[in-house]
Amino acid sequence: MATIFHSSLPPSPHAQSRLPLSRNARIINCVSLDQTRNASSSTAATSSAANDSLRVIFAAGGTGGHIYPAVAIADALKSLNPKTQFLFVGTAKGMEAKAVPFSGYPFVAVPAAPLTRPLFSLNNFLILPYIITKSTFKSFKILREFDPHVVIGTGGFVSFPTCLAAALKGVKLVIQEQNSVSGIANLVLSLFADKIFVAYDSTIESFPQRSKCVVCGNPVRLSLMEQVSKTVARQKFFPNVAAKEGLGEAMLNECEDLFIIWQTGVEAFSEMESLARNHPRVVLTPFLHALDLAYAAADLVVSRAGAMTCYEILATGKPCILIPSPYVAEGHQLKNASLMADLAGSRVIMENELDSTILRTAIQEMLDNKSLMAEMSKRALRAAKPNSSAEIAQQILSLVNNREVEL
């Protein structure tokens, strides 16, 4: 039995032909796509902040790729300094409005709007400046009331007004870029930032002030790093199969059926459910809260090439097939996928090349080649920086301790 984790391939008129649900398949998980520190230096970086109540604002939202790195950094800061006070700023209608409180952090909303394409449009010249100005003034009020020692932006249009207000107010500003190349918001904010944390060496070239950049990898949620056995994880998603067939390690290795864990995204869920409703070998969901179990259960990941999905694949050491979205601005996903191919040998299939035969063949070829799968896993783990969250948190504390927090 092989498990495939598949996530968030957007709906299309040909969606039903993309991933055939054969009865003779394996399990695929489809997803929407030395850090050791010297003990004495770690203590020096954290002890002074621990003596005061550190206050941190995160400007994060829009997509999980911007939200969850912020949550991971907050978790690491809280671990190093339990007295830290946090406030997340985002939009009322974005997924951050639910995801942040679910993660246990306070949240406040500000108005925000994305830059539209084409860049030279009526919206960008008339409507967007008004919304940014309104949001920046609201952010000033939040900054005045919360009085943070540092503001941390994790990219996207949601983060821009709050980070801009922090820069204008003279508050320490840190940004974190998840993609292999910088987005427009972070590119502009980098001019005012005290530090820029980037995921890859190649990302440094995106910023004009490279001396500010620190390569730390992408912050990954701690739950993804926990060791969960493949058997336990698979029983979570396919309990009836487990109960009926008595799935143990031997059965997992010998069964030839393909099982699919499919995170569709909210918009595509209804269409995909109409095609695969009640299929015994498919778990279909708009959003996976137990993402750690999905990765643990999977032999192979088929996914878009979002920045955080790519880094989660590296951190969990999963072989993968990436289908970069052609609809993402500035070609970020194609660049992410190309970098993943170089780092981990990931298979990349372009959207315009995709049909059921090509995808099925690619999946089967990879699952049948155990030595290739093992090599891809080793390369992925070698490229990952599992201590990214802790390293970023340490550097933030060191930055703040230099001026803001009294000993």
Q: Establish if 254 belongs to a structural domain.
A: yes
The pLDDT > 90 percentage for the chain reads: 56
Q: Which residue has the tokens 């979002």?
A: 306
Rg of the chain on CA atoms, in Å: 22
Q: Is 8 left (phi over 0), alpha (psi -120 to 50) or beta?
A: left
Where is 275: in which H helix or E strand?
Answer: helix 266-276
Dihedral, 203, 208, 209, 215 alpha carbons, nearest 10: 0
- Give the pLDDT of residue 174: 98
Q: Establish if 96 belongs to a structural domain.
A: yes
| Confidence grade of residue 396 (pLDDT, cut at 50, 70, 90) | very high
CA dist., res. 155 & res. 213, Å (int): 15
Residues 52, 27 share a domain:
no
Query: DSSP letters along 294-346, please?
Result: HHHH-SEEEE---HHHHHHHHHHT--EEE---TTSGGGHHHHHHHHHHHHH--
76 in Cβ contact with 217 (< 8 Å): no
> Is 90 exceeded by the pLDDT of residue 50?
no
Residues 97, 78 share a domain:
yes
> Is 60 exceeded by the pLDDT of residue 9?
no
Residues 207, 276 share a domain:
no
Which among 292, 344, 236 is positioned nearest to 68, based on CA atoms?
Answer: 292
Residues 239, 148 share a domain:
no
CA dist., res. 301 & res. 27, Å (int): 10
Q: Establish if 227 belongs to a structural domain.
A: no
Q: How many structural domains comprise the chain?
A: 2
Residues 43, 28 share a domain:
no
Residue 98's domain is classified under what CATH number? 3.40.50.2000
Residues 355, 238 share a domain:
yes
Beta bridge partners of 213: 196
Residues 373, 251 share a domain:
yes
Q: Establish if 395 belongs to a structural domain.
A: no
End residue of a domain, out of 221, 251, 266: 221
CA angle at 379 for the pair 375 and 384, rounded to the nearest 5°: 150
Residues counted in the chain: 407
- Burial of 163-196, coded b for 16+ CB within 10 Å and e otherwise, reads bbbbbeeebbbbbbbbbbbbbbbbbebbeebbbb
- Give the pLDDT of residue 384: 92
| Confidence grade of residue 349 (pLDDT, cut at 50, 70, 90) | very high
CA dist., res. 168 & res. 140, Å (int): 9
Beta bridge partners of 198: 177, 215
32 in Cβ contact with 9 (< 8 Å): yes
Look at 348 and 37; give whichever has higher pLDDT.
348
Dihedral, 152, 143, 90, 59 alpha carbons, nearest 10: -10
| Confidence grade of residue 270 (pLDDT, cut at 50, 70, 90) | confident
Q: Establish if 388 belongs to a structural domain.
A: no
CA dist., res. 8 & res. 12, Å (int): 12
**372 φ/ψ angles, rounded to the nearest 5 degrees:** -65, -45
Residues 362, 318 share a domain:
yes
Residues 73, 29 share a domain:
no
Which among 96, 95, 128 is positioned nearest to 112, based on CA atoms?
Answer: 128
**203 φ/ψ angles, rounded to the nearest 5 degrees:** -65, -25
- Give the pLDDT of residue 28: 57
Residues 6+ apart with CB under 8 A from 407: 48, 51, 52, 401
Taking residues 310-319, what's their average pLDDT?
95
Residues 130, 24 share a domain:
no
**132 φ/ψ angles, rounded to the nearest 5 degrees:** -65, -45
Kindly provide the residue ranges of all beta strands, DSSP E only, lying in 147-269, ordered along the sequence: 150-153, 172-177, 195-198, 213-215, 258-263
Burial, 386: exposed, middle or buried (Cβ in 10 Å; 0-12, 13-18, 19+)? middle
Residues 133, 245 share a domain:
no
Residues 271, 191 share a domain:
no
| Confidence grade of residue 113 (pLDDT, cut at 50, 70, 90) | confident
- Give the pLDDT of residue 244: 46
- Give the pLDDT of residue 264: 87
The secondary structure of residue 114, as a DSSP letter, is: P
CA dist., res. 69 & res. 189, Å (int): 18
CA dist., res. 344 & res. 336, Å (int): 12
pLDDT in tens, 68-108: 999 999 999 999 999 999 999 999 988 899 999 999 999 99
Q: Establish if 159 belongs to a structural domain.
A: yes
**What is the span of the domain harbouring residue 330?**
2-34+233-383
> Is 50 exceeded by the pLDDT of residue 35?
no
Q: Establish if 398 belongs to a structural domain.
A: no
- Give the pLDDT of residue 288: 84
CA dist., res. 160 & res. 186, Å (int): 8
CA dist., res. 140 & res. 399, Å (int): 22
Q: Which residue has the tokens 């933030």?
A: 396
Q: Is 131 helix (H, G, I), strand (E, B) or coil?
A: helix
Q: Which two tokens stand for residue 130?
A: 């008004």
Q: Establish if 407 belongs to a structural domain.
A: no
